[in-house]
Amino acid sequence: MNHIRQPESFPIVEGLPADAIDELALMMRAAYRAGQIVRAGYNEKQIVDEKEHGNLVSKVDEDCDEAVHDEIKRSRPDETILSEEKNHDADISHGKAWVVDPLDATSAFLFGVSEDMPSIMIARTEDGVANSSIVYFPLTDEMFYAVRGLGAYKGKDRLRCTGGTLAKSWIEMNQQANASKESQVFSRMRNNLRQPGGARLVSSSPPHSGIGVRIAEGRKRLSAVVHDNNPGEPAKAKQAPWDVIPVALILEEAGGVVVNFDGQPYNPLKPEPFIMAASKELAGEIIERSKLRGVIG
C-alpha cells in the first residue's frame, strides 16, 4: 500500500472561513486516527458480532469510534457526539454537534471486498443540519469534504456532478442484507430499472454509504444510489443519520440531490427509503420507475 500522509498535509482549498477550516482540520485529524486503525486491521482476523442478520460490527468499528471521540473531545470537550457504536442515541436536533460513522462498510472491510469502500464519515451540525463534513477512505487515502454554501472538494479539486438520462446511467441499489425487511417499492423499483426503458446498468454492491460521494466525484460514472431503509422499523433504519448526513452535504454541494421516494428533500433524522442522485431530473426518472407495475407488482 502507498505511504499514507499525515493529516496536516491534507490539502484544503483556499478562501474558506477560518471557523470552517478549523472544523475540517479537526474532522480530518479524527478520521486519520481512525484510518490508522482500519489500515492496521485490514485483511487481519477480527472479533465480529452481529447486531442483526447481515449487520456486522467488529472490534475495529469500536476502536475507531473511540479514537474519533477522543480527538474531538480534546478540542470540544462539552459538545455532543452522535456516533454509531459509542453514542447512537444522542440528540442532535438542537445546538451544535458532531455526527460520526467510525467505519462505514464494515462488511466490505471484513471480507476484503474492495479498498475503496470502507470509510470514516464525520459531520459538524447545527440543529440537525450539517454545515461541514468529511468522508475519508483510509485504504485508498482519499479525502472528500464540503462546507455548506461553499462547495464540495476532493483535496483542492472542486466536485461537480455530471448527471445524464436514466437510459445512460449506472444506478446502485443499496439493498437490505435481510431480504425479509426489503420494502415492496424498493423491490419493484429495482426490477423496473432492469427492464427496457430503465437504466443502462443496475448493481448491488456490499452496503457502503460512502458510495454517495462517488456520484459527486464522477470518476466511476455512477449516477445514483437508491437506499432501502426499513420503512416499517424506523428505529432500526439501515441508513442512520451518521450514514447519511456527512455524505449528503458533499453530494448536494456538488450539485446532486438527496430525496425521498416522493421526490421531497430527505430528512436523515426521520428515516425512510431515499435516493442520492446526480440531478433532480434523474431522481425523478428513477421515482417514476417505482410506480410502474413490473415483475414485482
DSSP for 121-159 reads: EEEEEETTEEEEEEEEETTTTEEEEEETTTEEEETTEEP
Residue 134 lies in a domain: yes
Percentage above 90 pLDDT, the chain: 63
User: Averaged over 33-50, what is the pLDDT?
Assistant: 82
Q: Strand pairing of 157-158 and 142-147?
A: unpaired
Contacts for 230 with CB less than 8 Å, ≥ 6 apart = 176, 181, 236, 237, 238, 271
User: Averaged over 11-38, what is the pLDDT?
Assistant: 93
Same domain, 141 and 200: no
For residue 181, give its domain range. 166-290
pLDDT at 296: 37
The answer to whether 34 and 68 have CB atoms below 8 angstroms apart is yes
For CA atoms 192, 196, 198, 203, give the dihedral sign.
positive
User: Averaged over 165-182, what is the pLDDT?
Assistant: 87
Same domain, 245 and 113: no
Residue 56 lies in a domain: yes
What's the full length of the chain, in residues?
Answer: 297
Q: Sorting pLDDT into bands at 50, 70 and 90, what band is 53?
A: low
Same domain, 227 and 208: yes
Same domain, 124 and 189: no
User: Which residue, 231, 172, 168, 241, is CA-closest to 207?
Assistant: 172
User: Averaged over 159-174, what is the pLDDT?
Assistant: 92
Dist. CA 133–CA 20, nearest whole Å: 10
Cell numbers for 136, please give them.
Answer: 475519508
Same domain, 17 and 146: yes
Domain boundary, last residue among 126, 158, 190: 158
Domain boundary, last residue among 158, 193, 222: 158
Query: Could you report the per-residue pLDDT of 187-203, keeping only the tens digit for each?
Result: 889 999 999 989 999 99
Residue 221's CATH number: 3.40.190.80
The answer to whether 136 and 210 have CB atoms below 8 angstroms apart is no
pLDDT at 52: 61
User: In this structure, which amino acid lies at residue 207?
Assistant: P
User: In this structure, which amino acid lies at residue 182?
Assistant: E
User: Averaged over 197-219, what is the pLDDT?
Assistant: 92
Residue 296 lies in a domain: no
Same domain, 192 and 152: no
Domain boundary, last residue among 134, 158, 182: 158
Same domain, 12 and 69: yes
Same domain, 54 and 97: yes
> Model pTM?
0.92
Residue 295 lies in a domain: no
User: Which residue, 35, 58, 57, is CA-closest to 118?
Assistant: 35
Task: Count Cβ neighbours within 10 Å for each residue of 213-242 and write b for 16 or more, e otherwise.
Answer: bbbbbbeeebbbbbbbbbbeeeeebbbbbb
Residue 2 lies in a domain: no
User: Averaged over 233-249, what is the pLDDT?
Assistant: 85
Cell numbers for 218, please give them.
Answer: 464522477
Task: Identify the weakest region by mean pLDDT among 5-14, 18-27, 39-48, 81-90.
Answer: 5-14
Query: Could you report the per-residue pLDDT of 274-286, keeping only the tens digit for each?
Result: 999 999 999 999 9
The count of domains in the chain is 2
Cell numbers for 59, please give them.
Answer: 472490534
Same domain, 13 and 129: yes
Using the predicted structure, report yes or no on whether residue 29 has a pLDDT greater than 50.
yes
